[in-house]
Structure 1
């Protein structure tokens, strides 16, 4: 309301200028000679009439803008069209036409962006699937000669390539994750063991072992996406663990939540870097020392985890890093998509 009066200060100044000019005429023109009390009465009547008029105009003219501001606060531009209040005056109708056009343009642009993103995602998925065919063939040849030291090195590089391809595939699917979800009762072992197996070549080459417990615990989650989230965390643990070390993986459950704990003996994370570990592209000091670090793993894991109400809790230890994947129990899960 105050901003309206500030905006209309020229009106207010004009009114008092006319009032002053009228008083000047009363004083200078003998034909309009009035007593002092009559002049005061005249001024008082005009001011008393002007103030309610100004307040009425302020309420009427700001009502539309207030309703538009409320819509803008709680809705995207593309949704404004049907929500706009009814316009009464000429200016309001002009504003409504402009806002409706902006809303329609935003919807059109959003649809174009979605189509482009869908095409890009489809292209990436198609490319990844095309790449998987020769990779599968290569894996069969590697497995046939596991004892060959050369093949063991190739298997190591194959694991890295396979991980990066899977990461690209899931990154492309993140935007439509709600269409690619099946909630089911899943044992932690179903999440943990396939991902450890996929890293077996790397771990074998570096002498990294695992201590596992609590794998029989069950949660309601999407198995495929939970594996992806666990894979990003486990890969980081393996990448930054020293050779001949051990990674502890344990499952725990109480009345409120279940969790998978991954604890490594690596160099850890600097305290000042902890708030940034889920940022896209952030690699930290350890990542900058490795040319193959992308800074995407934890970012993608966090994006996927948020869709399922899974919390990723990272804690610093005296030696290494401890990561907890905290799963909500069925009665506390708020985003059931497809359950079986």
Structure 2
């Protein structure tokens, strides 16, 4: 701060030095003026000026030091009271801007809440005709057409489900209930939901659960598995199996989902959980939204579930869910 203060007052400092130098120069040229006393006067003047600068530095930088350390918030109480007209002008303008931003921020939050509520309401309204459509499809006799329609119905259902949970994630802590959850029931429910798609591709499931229970929220775990299984089915080769297995390692349950699809390009691996990222190898795949793994990661983090990925390009990918230990239940229940 002292360097900035010197640069701020540099013109005044140079003016004082120039005046003292001018005084000595005149005394040097004019023999009637004793030179040594003028040197003494100039020295005392500079000494007094230096002390004056130190006093003014402490006084004038107090306001700006607090302003410099002020965090980018709406709280102006940490800023020192102004002690000069210019400081008063600066604080007044800052206060006016802060009040305006607070007002605009409140308005934006209200608008976002309204849009979120409208979207959630629309999603729930769309689910009604979607359920009716499913019942109509179930009554069809043409199995080939029925399978195609169910596949398209499932795509719409999954997209709506993603959108619904995306809006809920920021408020997920209000919708979490940690309890002992049976993995088999949750996994079979999600597999059943993807049945029509799996039948169309000839994909089967090999489920082997050595560890049967975990402490987590059943509904949100189902959503995470839905995203991982959807990806596994989507990118698996036709007539292949998706392997689902669980085991307990050092008090933690690990659930693996392994497919035999195209795998993940090594250069894509650091970005697969980024919002909107699809793939660099299949960049023209317009069906991909890049939201599934992102939403799964965000949901898993809220439940203290770690997601690990192993993949070799052309040989498939393995996604692992590592659940927290039982003694970490307290931290989860405080969500």
State the TM-score, normalized to the length of structure 2.
0.88
For the pair 1:34 / 2:34, whether they are aligned, the reply is: yes
| Partner residue, 1:101 | 96
The one-character-per-residue Cα deviations of 1:168-203 (angstroms, maximum 9, x if unpaired) are: 111222333333333333233344222211111111
For the pair 1:71 / 2:70, whether they are aligned, the reply is: yes
The alignment partner of 1:259 has SS state of strand
For 1:149 and 1:336, the matched residues in 2 are separated by 46
For the pair 1:200 / 2:199, whether they are aligned, the reply is: no
The alignment partner of 1:171 has SS state of helix
For 1:254 and 1:91, the matched residues in 2 are separated by 65
| Partner residue, 1:43 | 42
Segments of structure 1 that go 5 or more residues without pairing to the other structure are: none
| Partner residue, 2:59 | 60
Segments of structure 2 that go 5 or more residues without pairing to the other structure are: none
For the pair 1:133 / 2:133, whether they are aligned, the reply is: no
Choose the corresponding residue for 1:116, options 111, 132, 142: 111
Question: 218-227 vs 141-150, which deviates more?
Answer: 141-150
* Mapping 1:176-325, distance limit 5 Å: 176-214=171-209, 216-255=211-250, 257-285=252-280, 287-317=282-312, 319-325=315-321
Question: 260-269 vs 181-190, which deviates more?
Answer: 181-190
The alignment partner of 1:210 has SS state of strand
Question: Residues 34 and 146 (structure 1 numbering): CA distance in 2 closer, same or farther, change over 3 Å?
Answer: farther
For 2:76 and 2:82, the matched residues in 1 are separated by 13
The one-character-per-residue Cα deviations of 1:201-257 (angstroms, maximum 9, x if unpaired) are: 111111111122337543333322222222112211110000111111222333464
Question: 222-231 vs 199-208, which deviates more?
Answer: 222-231
| Partner residue, 2:323 | 327
For 1:307 and 1:183, the matched residues in 2 are separated by 12
Question: Residues 116 and 192 (structure 1 numbering): CA distance in 2 closer, same or farther, change over 3 Å?
Answer: same
What is the CA-CA distance between 1:131 and the residue it aligns to?
A: 1.0
For 1:215 and 1:117, the matched residues in 2 are separated by 45
Alignment: residue pair count: 333
For 1:324 and 1:253, the matched residues in 2 are separated by 12
The one-character-per-residue Cα deviations of 1:74-95 (angstroms, maximum 9, x if unpaired) are: xx43x33344333333333332
Question: Residues 234 and 215 (structure 1 numbering): CA distance in 2 closer, same or farther, change over 3 Å?
Answer: farther
Question: Residues 113 and 283 (structure 1 numbering): CA distance in 2 closer, same or farther, change over 3 Å?
Answer: same
The one-character-per-residue Cα deviations of 1:93-151 (angstroms, maximum 9, x if unpaired) are: 33222222232222222212211111111111111111111111222233445883322
Paired residues of 1:281 and 1:295 also in contact (CA < 8 A): yes
| Partner residue, 2:16 | 15
| Partner residue, 1:5 | 6
Question: Residues 40 and 268 (structure 1 numbering): CA distance in 2 closer, same or farther, change over 3 Å?
Answer: same
Question: Residues 43 and 219 (structure 1 numbering): CA distance in 2 closer, same or farther, change over 3 Å?
Answer: farther
For 1:116 and 1:144, the matched residues in 2 are separated by 43
The alignment partner of 2:253 has SS state of strand
Paired residues of 1:183 and 1:220 also in contact (CA < 8 A): yes
Paired residues of 1:257 and 1:327 also in contact (CA < 8 A): yes
For 2:303 and 2:311, the matched residues in 1 are separated by 25
How much is the aligned-residue C-alpha RMSD, in angstroms? 2.7
